[in-house]
Amino acid sequence: MFKSTIMKSCLPCIEKFLPDGNVACASSGRGTSSSWSWRMPAVFLFMLMGTVCGCKKEAPKAAAPPPAEVVAVAVAPKTVPITTPFVAQAESSHQVEIVARVNGFLEKILYKEGEVVKAGQVLFLMDQKPFKAQVNASRGEVENRQAQLWTAKANLDRIQPLAAQDAASKSDLDNAVGAVKSAEASLYEAKSRLEKAELDLSYTTIKSPVSGVSGQALLREGAYLSPVGQASKLSYVARLDPIWINFSVSQNEMATNQQEVAKGRLTVPKNQNYDVEVELSDGTRYPHTGKLSFADPSFSQQTGTFLVRAELPNPKGALRPGMFVKVHVKGAVRPNAIVVPQKAVQQTANGHVVYLVNNKGQAELRPVMVGEWVGDEWVINQGLKGGDKIIVEGFQRLAPGAPVKVITPEEAAAKAAAAAVKPAQPAAK
């Protein structure tokens, strides 16, 4: 039976190689025993070489896999707000250096370093004794000059009637008038020296000119102060409310914005009325917003940037001079922008790509040029147009050209909700 089966399956191949085309098969009863006997070696040879003769039947082709189910959304142009981030640094809106204005010794430090001080609060006190003595001396000189003026005026009052009656010479009258004028000038000079002495005395009480946070005291009690040189610097006071936030815009960024505006792809607020939000180092948002208050028209050759300043209210002093923060400049909009969800964009070694559904219902890999982030969406500057169907879920296992079945995000959410709510299985008996 085994030989008969093999012979039937290999008969076509054997007939090709036998000389006369006759095949003797015991199972069929055809041919003679002599013809079968000399052909036996060839028959067994072909039986052993069944794989060579090509009698094996072809395997059936595998069925094509069903289309992969993906979630896709249609791209629609829209106007989106643009937020531009910058690294910035806080600066006091009014920082004043506290310096000595007269020579003398520092007697007391009357403030706590680093605390917030008020305008007019006494910070340092110098030794006032020599200055008070000078004031007293100047007052005595003023009184002396006043007495001399009184005497000169009295003498003039006596000579004037006599000169009118020719009882005194014209020269005597002139001398009396000159004495009065000289006494008046001396009195003015003495009063000026008194004012100078009183002013110097007031300088020994060093007050804060503004309200703000105070700096470290650079000199200690007993140090000799001078209005010139390093001995004059005592500390500083920095106003905290409002606070300035400085950041830099590069020359390339400035040029790119100008080109975008010229092409109509970017619209800036009127009069450069941008809003500025501050993000602190821990990621929290500062509760107050500000406005741009200054943009340096000069280009810095050292940094290659333009200095821009924003002013924000700082009533609680949360922002301190020197702090590094992140600012978000708002106000510009991009009209007719193409935006897609961030999760739909993939980054490869050759750039960013997205999967979309073409007209044949197949997945297509499309390179794109990305722009700014807008919330959880990404602005696409180049590569997409309105109406394109972008795959947002299910593209991870796709290959370009693979057939896909598109469902909407709402349908995907409904399927997920239905899968989450499973009916209770009956208890096994």
Per-residue pLDDT reduced to its tens digit, 81-97: 988 999 999 999 999 99
Average pLDDT over residues 154-171: 88
38-49 per-position pLDDT tens digit: 444 444 444 444
389-429 per-position pLDDT tens digit: 999 888 888 888 888 888 888 888 887 788 777 665 555 54
Q: Which sequence spans correspond to the domains of the chain?
A: 2-48, 128-203, 243-411
Closest by CA position to 390, among listed 74, 174, 172: 74
State residue 423's pLDDT score.
61
Q: Are the C-beta atoms of residues 237 and 115 closer than 8 Å to each other?
A: no
Closest by CA position to 398, among listed 341, 349, 359, 346: 346
Pick the more confident residue, 297 or 61.
297
- What is the overall mean pLDDT for the chain? 84
Other C-beta atoms closer than 10 Å to the C-beta of 123 total 20
State residue 62's pLDDT score.
58
Distance CA 366, CA 354 (A): 5
Closest by CA position to 398, among listed 70, 65, 62: 70
Distance CA 102, CA 131 (A): 10
Q: Which range has the top average pLDDT, 35-39, 299-303, 323-327, 342-346?
A: 323-327
pLDDT at 17 over 50: no
Distance CA 136, CA 154 (A): 27
Closest by CA position to 320, among listed 235, 216, 239, 246: 239
State residue 58's pLDDT score.
57
State residue 21's pLDDT score.
45
Topology given in CATH for the domain delimited by 128-203 = Helix Hairpins (1.10.287)
State residue 39's pLDDT score.
47
pLDDT at 102 over 50: yes
pLDDT at 170 over 60: yes
Grade residue 117 by pLDDT with cuts at 50, 70 and 90.
very high
State residue 106's pLDDT score.
96
Average pLDDT over residues 149-162: 92
Topology given in CATH for the domain delimited by 243-411 = Elongation Factor Tu (Ef-tu); domain 3 (2.40.30)
State residue 179's pLDDT score.
93
Average pLDDT over residues 150-177: 89
Pick the more confident residue, 80 or 12.
80
Identical fold, 128-203 and 243-411: no
pLDDT at 338 over 50: yes
Average pLDDT over residues 27-52: 45
State residue 271's pLDDT score.
86
State residue 427's pLDDT score.
54
State residue 6's pLDDT score.
45
State residue 164's pLDDT score.
87
Closest by CA position to 204, among listed 111, 123, 120, 128: 128
Average pLDDT over residues 324-352: 91
Distance CA 294, CA 307 (A): 8
pLDDT at 65 over 90: no
Pick the more confident residue, 135 or 164.
135
pLDDT at 327 over 90: yes
Lowest-pLDDT range of 197-201, 353-357, 367-371, 407-411: 407-411
Is the whole model's pTM more than 0.85, yes or no? no
What is the C-alpha R_g of the chain?
51
**What are the CA-CA distances from residue 367 to residues 352, 355, 356, 358, 384 (Å)?**
6, 9, 11, 14, 9
Grade residue 34 by pLDDT with cuts at 50, 70 and 90.
very low
For tokens 């619209």, what's the residue? 267
Grade residue 246 by pLDDT with cuts at 50, 70 and 90.
very high
Q: What percent of the chain has pLDDT over 90?
A: 50
State residue 60's pLDDT score.
59
Amino acid at 99: V
State residue 265's pLDDT score.
86
